[in-house]
């Protein structure tokens, strides 16, 4: 399985490039709408100043808020955490002077120019790469006006010139493969800077969310302590008590029946080894040594290898994440694969882990019968609690008949 990691990493990066291009093009669409919005907003502002455009103010604000909300949704899909800004309620005049409105107008101006350009650039690199790379195959079959490379910048009307398409196409595809995620990141910066709450804004809703996640963290910690206590009390502790009893019995039989004493001591030794094995299992459940020794990739690969259902693993995490994040990701995958083996009746499973935009994204999918429910006691509720304890998000899709897909996002900020 280790020999397949480079290929899987390449496939993951290729999927990331396509995903980044799609999100950047969607952002370019929002940028085009923003371009149309700015001159209309200027006209509404002039009419409002002349006191004849008041009926247009509220519809214009609703449109601007919808457009900004669509960008926030896109940013969340990329992997960023962005909160809705607090709004000023009241008359149109008060809403126009709302700091959130001014920041949204600023975003529209930047995204309608720079964001639109960056989204179209990501798409153009892909289209130019595919066009130029295939150009030597069909250049003879198009009109003279279409015999061009680099999106019409370079004419190529001979066989020798057509072969340059192999060079320009390869360069364009390499630039797209490497640059699409970076272009998406640049395109997102204006939204991250301007569409969230302004510095010093009322963050009471965020405080409520953090209070809830803190309570979830304490609950998850209490549940984990109870689990460890039960494992020690019902397992290792009982076996150690049994060892003490066996040793006492062996001492009493030592003089009367040495053979019987030897048999009891052998049982005591077996019980001691079982107690040690259970103690190791408890320790591994707290912080798996394989996670510390081999990192997240090695630990998850080992989990997939031990899964009863054939499982493929794709990991694109070039750096170590915080220990709490790696431990939670390990727990999510371990519990999910246990559910797959016990409940899903699946024939295959897939684990995908990638680090993107400062968050660790974990996806576990199977082709089983579906119908997974966190309230059914399958361990999903525990997964959600542990994820929320790190201020993360968990999304479950499991319609009856399958497939089942669990997506988890864990912020890696310090």
User: Which tens digit of pLDDT belongs to each residue from 264-278?
Assistant: 788 878 888 877 777
pLDDT score, position 3 = 46
Please say if the pLDDT value at position 33 is more than 90: yes
User: Which tens digit of pLDDT belongs to each residue from 151-184?
Assistant: 777 777 778 878 888 888 899 999 999 999 999 9
User: Which tens digit of pLDDT belongs to each residue from 103-131?
Assistant: 888 999 999 999 999 999 999 999 988 88
Burial of 274 (0-12, 13-18, 19+ CB in 10 A): middle
State the SS3 of the chain: CHHHHHHHHHHHHHHHHHHHHHHHHHHHHHHHHHHHHHHHHHHHHHHHHCCCCHHHHHHHHHHHHHHHHHHHHHHHHHCCCCCCCCCCCCCHHHHHCCHHHHHHHHHHHHHHHHHHHHHHHHHHHHHHHHHHHHHHHHHHHCCHHHCEECCCCEECCCHHHHHHHHHHHHHHHHHHHHHHHHHHHHHHHHHHHHCCCCCCCCCHHHHHHHHHHHHHHHHHHHHHHHHHHHHHHHHHHHHHHHHHHHHHHHHHHHHHCHHHHHHHHHHHHHHHHHHHHHHHHHHHHHCCHHHHHHHHHHHHHHHHHHCCCCEEEEEECCCCCCHHHHHHHHHHHHHHHHHHHHHHCCCCEEEEEEEECCEEEEEEEECCCCCCCHHHCCCHHHHHHHHHHCCCEEEEECCCCCCEEEEEEEECCC
Q: Are 336 and 352 in contact (CB under 8 A)?
A: no
Lookup result for tokens 């969310």: 209
Q: Does domain 289-411 have CATH number 3.30.565.10?
A: yes
Confidence of residue 377 (pLDDT cuts 50, 70, 90): low
- Answer yes or no: pTM beyond 0.85: no
Q: Is the Cα torsion angle 213, 219, 223, 228 positive or negative in sign?
A: positive
Please say if the pLDDT value at position 102 is more than 80: yes
Q: Are 187 and 193 in contact (CB under 8 A)?
A: no
Please say if the pLDDT value at position 369 is more than 50: yes
Window from 75-84, 139-148, 283-292, 348-357 with minimum mean pLDDT: 283-292
pLDDT score, position 173 = 92
Q: Are 364 and 350 in contact (CB under 8 A)?
A: yes
Distance CA 100, CA 282 (A): 51
Please say if the pLDDT value at position 329 is more than 80: yes
% residues pLDDT > 90 (the chain): 18
pLDDT score, position 42 = 83
Mean pLDDT score, 46-62: 78
> Which has more pLDDT, 262 or 207?
262
């Amino acid at each position: 399985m280790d020999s397949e990691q480079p290929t899987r990493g390449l496939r993951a990066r290729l999927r990331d490039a396509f995903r980044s291009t799609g999100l950047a093009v969607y952002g370019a669409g929002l940028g085009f709408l923003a371009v149309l919005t700015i001159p209309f907003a200027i006209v509404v502002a002039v009419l409002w100043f002349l006191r004849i455009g008041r009926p247009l103010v509220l519809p214009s604000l609703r449109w601007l808020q919808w457009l900004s909300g669509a960008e926030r949704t896109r940013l969340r899909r990329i992997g960023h955490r962005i909160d809705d800004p607090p709004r000023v309620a009241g008359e149109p005049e008060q809403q126009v002077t709302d700091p959130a409105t001014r920041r949204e107008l600023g975003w529209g101006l930047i995204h309608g120019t720079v964001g639109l350009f960056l989204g179209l650039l990501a798409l153009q690199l892909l289209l130019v790469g595919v066009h130029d790379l295939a150009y030597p195959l069909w250049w003879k079959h198009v009109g003279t006006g279409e015999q061009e490379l680099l999106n019409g910048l370079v004419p190529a009307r001979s066989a020798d010139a057509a072969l340059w398409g192999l060079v320009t196409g390869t360069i364009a595809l390499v630039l797209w493969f490497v640059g699409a995620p970076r272009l998406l990141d640049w395109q997102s910066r204006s939204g991250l800077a301007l569409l969230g709450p302004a510095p010093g804004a009322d963050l009471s809703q965020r405080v409520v969310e953090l209070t809830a996640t803190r309570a979830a963290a304490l609950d998850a910690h209490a549940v984990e302590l109870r689990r460890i206590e039960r494992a020690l009390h019902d397992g290792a502790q009982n076996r150690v008590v049994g060892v003490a009893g066996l040793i006492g019995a062996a001492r009493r039989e030592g003089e009367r029946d040495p053979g019987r004493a030897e048999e009891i001591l052998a049982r005591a030794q077996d019980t001691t080894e079982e107690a040690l094995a259970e103690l190791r299992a408890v320790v591994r459940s707290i912080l798996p040594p394989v996670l510390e020794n081999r990192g997240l990739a090695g630990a998850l690969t080992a989990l997939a290898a031990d899964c009863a259902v054939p499982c493929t693993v794709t990991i694109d995490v070039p750096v170590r994440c915080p220990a709490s994040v790696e431990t939670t990701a390990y727990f999510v995958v371990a519990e999910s694969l246990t559910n797959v083996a016990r409940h899903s009746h699946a024939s295959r499973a897939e684990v995908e882990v990638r680090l993107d935009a400062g968050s660790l994204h974990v996806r576990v999918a199977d082709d089983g019968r579906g119908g997974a429910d966190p309230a059914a006691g399958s361990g999903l509720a525990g997964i959600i609690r542990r994820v929320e304890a790190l201020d993360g998000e968990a999304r479950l899709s499991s319609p009856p008949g399958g497939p089942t897909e669990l997506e988890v996002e864990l912020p890696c900020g310090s």
